[in-house]
A and B are shown apart, each in its own frame.
Chain A
Amino acid sequence: QKEVEQDPGPLSVPEGAIVSLNCTYSNSAFQYFMWYRQYSRKGPELLMYTYSSGNKEDGRFTAQVDKSSKYISLFIRDSQPSDSATYLCAMSGLTGGGNKLTFGTGTQLKVEL
């Protein structure tokens, strides 16, 4: 079983739709959960990070973590064509500074006009 699993997509939605992106993980040591956005030929750009189970909201984005089910989600409301990118989930343990990140394979999202 892979440590982090993410549906690669591609996912195509109309502008204004609500998008749900998901990852599951198997390693109970993961305590911090991140979502990165990656545009073509660019590096991962940090969108949100969270530690505890529950929801965290930032504008149109909501990150959700369920540690009991080992499942995390990113919701994008009122999706825009500029949201078209690959979305990467990433996770790390709680061992102090310098934690390595374990990434999912990324979900490619296209928001169409």
Chain B
Amino acid sequence: EPEVTQTPSHQVTQMGQEVILRCVPISNHLYFYWYRQILGQKVEFLVSFYNNEISEKSEIFDDQFSVERPDGSNFTLKIRSTKLEDSAMYFCASSDEGAWQPQHFGDGTRLSIL
């Protein structure tokens, strides 16, 4: 069964550094998402992306965050200057095109900011 893959599984970064999290969505999917889960808290929506542009973003997704589809298979989340509170699991998801389609998630990248 096709799946969403994310790399790396664990990223450790010094505060203030830039980090890029990578995702390969399911190949025929056209909608892409990033979610965040701080330890012990619920999964929170960050951003959705379609047709090479952001379709919706949450208030968490401020100017420090950006997303990109650099080629036909990858989808990335960049955090420009990381803060301690950015430590979390980051999940990528994708869904097919249509009136409503379920989202399928990767196993996440655990981001630890020191």
Which residues does chain A contribute within 8 Å of B110, judged by CB atoms?
Answer: 41
Residues of A within 8 A of B33 (CB): 98, 100-101
- Interface hub of A43, A99, A102 (most chain B Cβ within 10 A): A43
Chain A residue at smallest Cβ distance from B4: A43
Residue of B nearest to A90 (CB): B43
Chain A residues within 8 Å of B100, by CB: 32, 51, 92, 94, 96-97, 99
Q: In the docked arrangement, what's the CA distance between A76 and B107, Å?
A: 24
Bound Cα distance from A12 to B102, whole angstroms? 29
1/0 per residue, CB under 8 A from B, across A81-107: the answer is 000000010101010111111111110
Compute the total of residue contacts between A and B using a CB distance below 8 Å.
Answer: 68
Contact of B106 among A43, A49, A102 (CB under 8 A): A43
- Given known A-B contacts A98-B55, A105-B42, A42 and B107 have beta carbons under 8 A apart: yes
Question: Contact between A97 and B43 (Cβ–Cβ < 8 Å)?
Answer: no
- Residues of A near B103 (CB, < 8 A) are 46, 101
Which residues of chain A have C-beta atoms less than 8 A from B95's C-beta?
97-98
Q: Which residues, 69 to 102 on B, are CB-close (under 8 Å) to A? A: 91, 95, 97-102
B residues near A43, Cβ cutoff 8 Å: 4, 6, 91, 105-108
Q: Contact: A34 with B102, CB < 8 Å? A: yes
**Residues of chain B at interface, number, CB under 8 A:** 32
A44 at the binding interface (Cβ < 8 Å): yes
Pair A103/B42 contact, Cβ less than 8 Å: yes
Return the contact of A96 from the options B4, B6, B44, B99 (Cβ within 8 A).
B99
Minimal beta-carbon separation of B110 from chain A (angstroms): 8
> Contact partner of B58 among A42, A92, A96, A100, CB < 8 A?
A100
Contact with A along B26-47 (1 / 0, CB 8 A): 0000110101000001111100
Residue ranges of A at the interface with B (Cβ–Cβ < 8 Å): 32, 34, 36, 41-46, 49, 51, 88, 90, 92, 94, 96-106
Contacts A98-B95, A100-B33 known; list 4 others, CB within 8 Å.
A46-B105, A98-B49, A98-B50, A103-B43
